[in-house]
Amino acid sequence: MTQPRPRAAVVVTGSELVRGERNDRNGPFLAAEALRLGLDPERITIVGDRPEDLERALAEGFDADLCVVSGGLGPTHDDRTVEMVAQVAGRPLIVDPALERQIESVSRMFAERMGRPYTEFATGVTKQATLPEGALSLGLAGTAPGFVLDTAGSAVVVVLPGPPRELRRLWPRALETAPVQRVVERAPRRGRAVLRFYGTPESAVARALAEAGGDGDGVEATICAREFEIHVDLVYDADAEERAEALAALLRGGLEHYLFSEDGRSVAELVLERCRVRGLTLAAAESCTGGLVAARLTDVAGSSDVFRGGVVAYANDVKENHLGVSRALLERHGAVSAEVAQAMAHGVRERFGADVGVAVTGIAGPDGGTEEKPVGLVLVHAVGPDAEKARHMELPGDRETIRSRATVAALHLVRKLLENRHTAE
Amino acid sequence: MTQPRPRAAVVVTGSELVRGERNDRNGPFLAAEALRLGLDPERITIVGDRPEDLERALAEGFDADLCVVSGGLGPTHDDRTVEMVAQVAGRPLIVDPALERQIESVSRMFAERMGRPYTEFATGVTKQATLPEGALSLGLAGTAPGFVLDTAGSAVVVVLPGPPRELRRLWPRALETAPVQRVVERAPRRGRAVLRFYGTPESAVARALAEAGGDGDGVEATICAREFEIHVDLVYDADAEERAEALAALLRGGLEHYLFSEDGRSVAELVLERCRVRGLTLAAAESCTGGLVAARLTDVAGSSDVFRGGVVAYANDVKENHLGVSRALLERHGAVSAEVAQAMAHGVRERFGADVGVAVTGIAGPDGGTEEKPVGLVLVHAVGPDAEKARHMELPGDRETIRSRATVAALHLVRKLLENRHTAE
């Protein structure tokens, strides 16, 4: 065994988060960063702004080697992170005059930009310029300051603002500070292999992993199912690289028909990449996914050189007028049918002058299902320059689940259409 | 003060969650449920599947009155929740033969449906039928069993499967069990008021709240900014209802131009509702948001009676051919311009036979910005039967943030277009 990896804990604070009104995005980001740096992400704790809850979570988090705290740095009365970090670390609070001037000038700029009086922003300038003694300021993101505090006895603490965009801007600066560097330097190098499968159940992947010898001996394996994709993550110590590679090779061999990504790229990225390599353009026609296929593709920066656009065809006459689906076909087979999915894919391909067309139609529910065509029935169709592919599914789940599974299924169908090797459906 | 509210803790387990590879959705759902039931959601802890981490998180969670545990019930080797719950609660593990038969039959059905041999599913049937002594089974969701365990000394523990859909199906059954009922019955009735604002900064809302007397005295106020919406949440004890109402009235009065929702409904729901009431249909033309406006609208069940569809127009000739934007206009002003946004809105309205058209064009980045038209420049336009509205913004943030803020801005523009009273932009 190599030396133990430094442990990282994340404490996220925000009443709206602990009440479930908003999903936290900072915990996952920071945990992934810790993993990338070779640390061991141990836990993410989400608490509200009640002093006693925040104090307990911080005290637990300070047990780790690196504790990253997000949120509670704003100008309002319920932003108590700085105060509680100082208390748990046993440090007094000090106003930083330079920081105060900086926050004031940013606040004035914001006020001007939004055409609002500065007085609306003035509250909390001094509050936001107050830090625990010994803190290294990371500068501002918005009006919120981030800082690093080496508590000496326990964790190195990094405190960052809650808005994800501001947090992500300050995080690289935290990594450059000496206390954080010292923690990261203690991390032994760790390797990682990622395999993503589509079209096979989680238990089949688990069985293949067990038959390949399972994890242990310096290799940690995680299997996770997501919208019918199965993601396998192998994290290994430097001296277990050979064993991890052998494990990956066995998984690859046993499940090669289902393997679609080994570099962490999503199916949307792969579809765009395969189109780009072959000089193909793409267009989408969507009914039940209502724009999600297009949104998933355009979420990828640079998608505009491949993706020409698409039609969200909720109403039947939109399918007729904008995708050229004939009324006769709609009447004969219904809007949710393999025939209409095919006509939509061909229609969007032709009308948008694209090389590849993909279409989805289905019943996302909760209403609109019949015995013959139940909620969850989804038809996807993809057509390229020299081939086409179709798939019919009955997806379990609620409206959101059905829509997102149908989106992923449509993207995988395009991926398979563009693959050279023959793969199992 | 009324009696203290029973506390609820949520423990979410999954290596992919603690490593940040996936965002947890169960914690927020369960916390919101606890709040709805009058309990006090105290913390959400996310841990991996290492026995010692899970054990510590469970031990802390068992300190609460109700501890809901999600995940780690699957058939694979790293699903350790049942074993660890039994250990922390000091109960032996017992195989339930009836449950075992039930899981086997579901597994056989799954295998058949997917056209896979049953052997791929057989692993873990006995494992999944094993529960701590004294557990009340909640039945299956998928092949994963949920259960309730009254630990007597400490928390009532509810254990649910990790997939959000399965968790949400079993949760109502947990609420019907006697041990959970006993916890909920101890919760004093608690009221809640929700006010959502758009177009004013968080600090202005905070100041209005402070001027109205602030929280305390049985009223807890949370302010949270989200895609430029400011959500204020007032949670109050039964005997503080009058004070909470007075506070809400003062906020309403001081910020009425910005208030858009008092019942927790999203802007997409409000837009659909306002269209429905006036018998109007809606269509969307999107460039930089790439389908997100349509996706947000169609995420609402029943949107099909209002939303006819839309065009995602990434390429310029798609704007010409499918939205009737003239080439001259595109050449004169560029695709990212107020003139093109207006032409897109009019074009989609006419071509889709809708009463209301909304359009978004902009530069989401990270590339494509110029000095004159920087990344973050977004133009939105909405046109109805008797009026139109336009807005020009320079949004801060990364690609994802810009896209989601532009989406929300487009929806708010439609909302304002359909409002009778005159409101400030």
Q: Which chain A residues touch B48 with a CB distance below 8 Å?
A: 41-43
Among A130-144, B105-119, B383-397, the minimum mean pLDDT is found in: B105-119
- Determine, for residues B291 and A312 on separate chains, whether the beta-carbon distance falls below 8 Å: yes
* Mean pLDDT computed over A195-210: 89
d(CA B398, CA B365): 7
- Determine, for residues B233 and A32 on separate chains, whether the beta-carbon distance falls below 8 Å: no
> pLDDT: is B169 or B377 the higher one?
B377
What is the predicted pLDDT for the residue at B2?
52
φ, ψ of residue B3 in degrees (nearest 5): -60, 150
* Mean pLDDT computed over B17-43: 90
* Boundaries of every domain in chain A: 7-185, 190-261, 267-417
* Mean pLDDT computed over A366-395: 95
Handedness of CA A405, A410, A411, A417 (dihedral sign): positive
- Determine, for residues A28 and B44 on separate chains, whether the beta-carbon distance falls below 8 Å: no
Q: Which fold has domain B267-417?
A: Maf protein (3.90.950)
Residue A422, SS3 per DSSP: coil
Residue A166, pLDDT above cutoff 50: yes
> pLDDT: is B37 or A424 the higher one?
B37
Instruction: Please give the structure tokens belonging to residue B83.
Output: 């074993």
Q: Exposed, middle or buried by CB within 10 Å (0-12, 13-18, 19+), for A272? A: buried
Q: HSE (CB half, 13 Å, CA atoms) of A26? A: 28
| CA–CA min distance A288, chain B (Å) | 8
> Which B positions 31-70 lie with beta carbon below 8 A of chain A?
31-35, 41-49, 53, 57, 60
Residue A137, SS3 per DSSP: strand
ipTM of the complex: 0.79
Among B84-88, B348-352, B370-374, B421-425, the minimum mean pLDDT is found in: B421-425
Tell me the per-residue pLDDT of B253-280, one tens digit each, with 9 for 90 and over: 989 999 999 998 999 999 999 999 999 9
Q: What is the CATH number of domain A7-185?
A: 3.40.980.10
Mean pLDDT of chain B: 91
What is the predicted pLDDT for the residue at B119?
82
Residue B420's pLDDT band, with cuts at 50, 70 and 90, is low
Q: Which of A36, A33, A40, A30 is nearest to A64 (CA)?
A: A40
What is the predicted pLDDT for the residue at A75?
78
* Mean pLDDT computed over A131-159: 91
Cβ pair B100, B145 in contact under 8 A = no
> pLDDT: is B191 or A339 the higher one?
A339
d(CA A340, CA A286): 11
Residue B1's pLDDT band, with cuts at 50, 70 and 90, is very low
Residue B165's pLDDT band, with cuts at 50, 70 and 90, is confident
Q: Which residue of B has its CA nearest to A286?
A: B309
Question: Which of B297, B309, B403 has its CB closest to that of A311?
Answer: B309
Of A125-129, A238-242, B283-287, where does the model show the most confidence? B283-287
* Mean pLDDT computed over B152-160: 92
Residue B425's pLDDT band, with cuts at 50, 70 and 90, is very low
Q: Which chain B residues touch A48 with a CB distance below 8 Å?
A: 41-43
* Sequence-separated (6 or more) residues with CB below 8 Å from residue B268: B296, B297, B299, B300, B411
- The position carrying tokens 């402070």 is B210
Residue A3's pLDDT band, with cuts at 50, 70 and 90, is low
Residue A2's pLDDT band, with cuts at 50, 70 and 90, is low
* Mean pLDDT computed over B123-128: 82
- Determine, for residues B403 and A223 on separate chains, whether the beta-carbon distance falls below 8 Å: no
Residue A303, pLDDT above cutoff 60: yes
> pLDDT: is A74 or B170 the higher one?
B170
Residue A388, pLDDT above cutoff 50: yes
> pLDDT: is B163 or B175 the higher one?
B175
Residue B224's pLDDT band, with cuts at 50, 70 and 90, is confident
Residue B10's pLDDT band, with cuts at 50, 70 and 90, is very high
* Mean pLDDT computed over B288-314: 96
Of A397-411, B102-116, B404-418, where does the model show the most confidence? B404-418
> pLDDT: is A78 or B329 the higher one?
B329
Q: Which residue of A has its CA nearest to B289?
A: A295
d(CA B33, CA B28): 9
* Mean pLDDT computed over A357-386: 95
Mean pLDDT of chain A: 91
What is the predicted pLDDT for the residue at B235?
86
CA A30 and chain centroid, separation: 12
What is the predicted pLDDT for the residue at B423?
41
Q: Which chain B residues touch A351 with a CB distance below 8 Å?
A: 321-322
Q: Which chain B residues touch A42 with a CB distance below 8 Å?
A: 18, 47-48, 53
Residue B34, pLDDT above cutoff 80: yes
Residue B308, pLDDT above cutoff 90: yes
Residue A1's pLDDT band, with cuts at 50, 70 and 90, is very low
| Alpha carbon distances (Å) from B401 to A1, B374, B382 | 43, 15, 21
What is the predicted pLDDT for the residue at A423?
41
CATH of B190-261, one of 3.30.70.2860, 2.40.110.10, 3.50.50.60, 3.30.1280.10: 3.30.70.2860
What is the predicted pLDDT for the residue at A224?
79
Residue B3, pLDDT above cutoff 70: no
Residue A113, pLDDT above cutoff 80: no
What is the predicted pLDDT for the residue at B424?
40
Q: Which of A37, A47, A38 is nearest to A11 (CA)?
A: A47
Chain A touched by B312 (CB under 8 Å): yes
| Alpha carbon distances (Å) from B337 to B141, B381, B425 | 51, 11, 19
d(CA B418, CA A49): 38
What is the predicted pLDDT for the residue at A62?
96
What is the predicted pLDDT for the residue at A226?
79
* Mean pLDDT computed over A58-80: 91
> pLDDT: is B206 or A21 the higher one?
B206
Tell me the per-residue pLDDT of A311-354, one tens digit each, with 9 for 90 and over: 999 999 999 999 999 999 999 999 999 999 999 999 999 999 99
Among A288-302, A314-328, B232-246, the minimum mean pLDDT is found in: B232-246
Chain A touched by B121 (CB under 8 Å): yes
Cβ pair B187, B6 in contact under 8 A = yes
Tell me the per-residue pLDDT of B326-371, one tens digit each, with 9 for 90 and over: 999 999 999 999 999 999 999 999 999 999 999 999 999 999 999 9
What is the predicted pLDDT for the residue at B373?
95
Interaxial angle between packed helices B316-323 and B338-351, expressed in degrees from 0 to 180 and rounded to the nearest 10: 40
% of residues, chain A, pLDDT over 70: 97
pTM, two decimals, is: 0.81
Instruction: Please give the structure tokens belonging to residue A395.
Output: 């997806």
What is the predicted pLDDT for the residue at A424?
40
Q: Which chain A residues touch B424 with a CB distance below 8 Å?
A: none
What is the predicted pLDDT for the residue at A222?
81
